[in-house]
Structure 1
């Protein structure tokens, strides 16, 4: 009767090695050893060349085309836990014309006079042009203009009425800011700014956009655009511009401005009350957040000129898996845009909806299973002899 010994193999199979020599045993074990697997390895993002943005952006799913935006019943229990970080850099420009604002707890910031659903937050990016005056004015006065000078809705819960009132209030506030820029003598008539704001009340995310800043939502690693860039070359904007007496020359509105919507720029707008090719009217996108929504990126066009929405989402997602720091992720995005040779100022806000320990890992750890492998006495002796020799 042949004696046998057992060797533990990390594989879900049994190997019987009676009568086999050591090299044969090694070959069998090597053939059944699992490939190395690191469950913490981040998702790869697209290469810089493939990440250059195009008008069609095939790798991004627009919010109005997502089929599963309506929350499931289980999502009714979900409320985001907000934390944010930002980073700004002058880039290759001589002057910094960007401004931004981030408030993770709007109720505490405004005081007891306002009653909002929990959580409540306000974020904004203002990309100036023709000088820094317009963007700086908006940053300094946006809270007063938004919450004091208009009838901002107050409610303890989010419903359809609150959402509609919020949209109407934001629309009115954008126009109020535009008129205020015309009246303030410290702001040049040739100075203007784009503006993108994002508000969160409970599970409601409301984005208002005028210009070419962009907000991008990450849902399970997939980029979802929450705003549409307002550029004169886009068919809908070009049609509106030309119907109102403007023209597009080499991608620029009236040969001057690279956006078709902005606050300020009163040297390019018709007198008050007249329809103008350049308008301050914002577009809106609203969504109920779910447990699948991980974070929101808000950035000026200096970011999106050189990378796609999906590129940015993948970069931030990988960073959060490493260090869970939204401010560092914002900085990483700016550094990536500089590496890709952006030619503009750079400003980014990253808003996380939960902490890292609340989310599932990218891939669950692989369970290691052990089975017995049998060796004959002769093979065992050969193996021992080999090990002794090596020792």
Structure 2
């Protein structure tokens, strides 16, 4: 019976002699035998691989399947090949007891580790500037602790701490807060008591206050080395008249927790709008004035409102001689992060005394929007001196903090100026 092959008539007496396939063709056919697949378009057209024994010419794949399907199919073939190789390695080559020679075949472990690296976000970009300004002594301290706790609530993201501490009387309480606050907060998070953020931060500030008093006492009696010689230890043996403000921001993948004690401040820039995340603790604030009066203290106006005519803030860490009028209890705010969040600014009152929240946000956003792409950290030889814990991780954030500091000095700020700018934009 006559037949057709490639459009040519073949008689009954004519038979095609078997041809030994070449090695390249043979390998291709074996691969197709292993990976059976088909391509389907929206028109229900189907292209099947050529059977190993047939001689019918294959149609061009571009005529049957669109380019996008070709890409997907190529990925599918690659995936099938990988799975087939993994199966052969596991079934044939891997011995029952794993040894050093089989370490590279632990494919599942390496895959999960790679996925974990992909989903864990890095610390937000930040920049910090801290200058003495027109003051005789530098009493500010800044702490930046990326991924400071290994016991975060969500394994898909770390938690990061940013703190600004504005000392008064001397610098050693602010320095102590910089060195110890993150450790105390980390212990509270890892305590396993399941407390709220408000409770954990309040307890952390209380423990920080006690730690400062005990450390100061031990340093005065010689039981503990203070670590550095500061001005008050050279001139006066008593350090109870020393304290510090504290504004601490903890940034998680979905929240911003701000704890404030004193007149340093945290401001969130969201969609171009300045949102204060803390309220300054001034002695003439109505609720603070009432609390001081009820505890037996007085607010005296001497170059501004002051507790007992001395301290120009109603809450602080340290200042043991002004207790119970001056307390260390922080006010805590918990803010849900959104896709519209742009940056977070933490600063001492050296900035906020002369620069409004709106102006600070406008300056920071201009810097963040004008510096693209992101640049590596500023080199150690730059013209701005950063503290060891607060060096910049991004030029745009660094430029924002520098510009805000220069703006405060240009407006004749008479205090130390410390500024931290954290980039919260998604996709950074």
Partner of 2:78: none
Tell me how far 1:81 sits from its aligned partner: 6.6
Q: Distance in 2 between matches of 1:220 and 1:119?
A: 25
CA offsets per residue over residues 305-329 of structure 1, 9 Å max, x none?
A: 0011001000111111222510110
* 1:248 aligned to which of 296, 299, 309: 299
* 1:327 aligned to which of 373, 398, 404: 398
Map 1:350-365 onto structure 2 (within 5 A). Answer: 350-354=421-425, 358=427
Partner of 1:130: 169
CA 1:81 to 1:291, structure 2 compared with 1: closer, same or farther past 3 Å?
farther
Q: Distance in 1 between matches of 2:270 and 2:251?
A: 16
Q: Distance in 1 between matches of 2:349 and 2:144?
A: 18
Structure 1 segments unaligned to the other structure (5+ residues): 1-76, 155-160, 270-275, 360-391
Tell me how far 1:256 sits from its aligned partner: 0.1
Q: Distance in 1 between matches of 2:354 and 2:152?
A: 41
CA 1:80 to 1:225, structure 2 compared with 1: closer, same or farther past 3 Å?
farther
Q: Distance in 2 between matches of 1:116 and 1:303?
A: 34
Say whether residues 1:178 and 2:220 are aligned partners: no
Partner of 2:144: 102
* 1:280 aligned to which of 328, 337, 340: 328
Q: Distance in 2 between matches of 1:348 and 1:301?
A: 10
Conserved 8 A contact 1:223-1:310: yes
Q: Distance in 1 between matches of 2:123 and 2:178?
A: 25
Conserved 8 A contact 1:134-1:192: yes
Map 1:26-105 onto structure 2 (within 5 A). Answer: 82-104=124-146
* 2:287 aligned to which of 226, 236, 240: 236
Aligned-partner SS, 1:267: helix
CA 1:92 to 1:101, structure 2 compared with 1: closer, same or farther past 3 Å?
same
CA offsets per residue over residues 220-263 of structure 1, 9 Å max, x none?
A: 11000000000001111111111111111111111000000000
Q: Relative contact order: is structure 1 or structure 2 higher (C-alpha 8 Å, sep ≥ 6)?
A: 1
* 1:141 aligned to which of 174, 177, 180: 180
Tell me how far 1:268 sits from its aligned partner: 1.4
Could you say which structure has the larger radius of gyration?
Answer: 2
Aligned-partner SS, 2:322: coil
Say whether residues 1:267 and 2:315 are aligned partners: no
Aligned-partner SS, 1:280: coil
Aligned-partner SS, 2:370: helix
Partner of 1:362: none
- When the two structures are aligned, how many residues end up with a matched partner? 261
* 2:262 aligned to which of 204, 211, 223: 211
CA 1:323 to 1:138, structure 2 compared with 1: closer, same or farther past 3 Å?
same
* 1:294 aligned to which of 334, 337, 342: 342
Q: Distance in 2 between matches of 1:175 and 1:318?
A: 38
CA offsets per residue over residues 146-171 of structure 1, 9 Å max, x none?
A: 223x45466xxxxxx96x52221111
Conserved 8 A contact 1:80-1:354: no
TM-score, normalization by structure 2: 0.58
Q: Distance in 2 between matches of 1:284 and 1:165?
A: 11
Partner of 1:42: none
CA offsets per residue over residues 198-235 of structure 1, 9 Å max, x none?
A: 01222111100000110000011100000000000111
Structure 2 segments unaligned to the other structure (5+ residues): 1-118, 221-238, 373-395
Say whether residues 1:196 and 2:250 are aligned partners: no
Say whether residues 1:338 and 2:426 are aligned partners: no
Q: Distance in 2 between matches of 1:128 and 1:96?
A: 9
Question: CA RMSD for the aligned pairs?
Answer: 2.1
Aligned-partner SS, 1:144: helix
Q: Distance in 2 between matches of 1:262 and 1:295?
A: 26
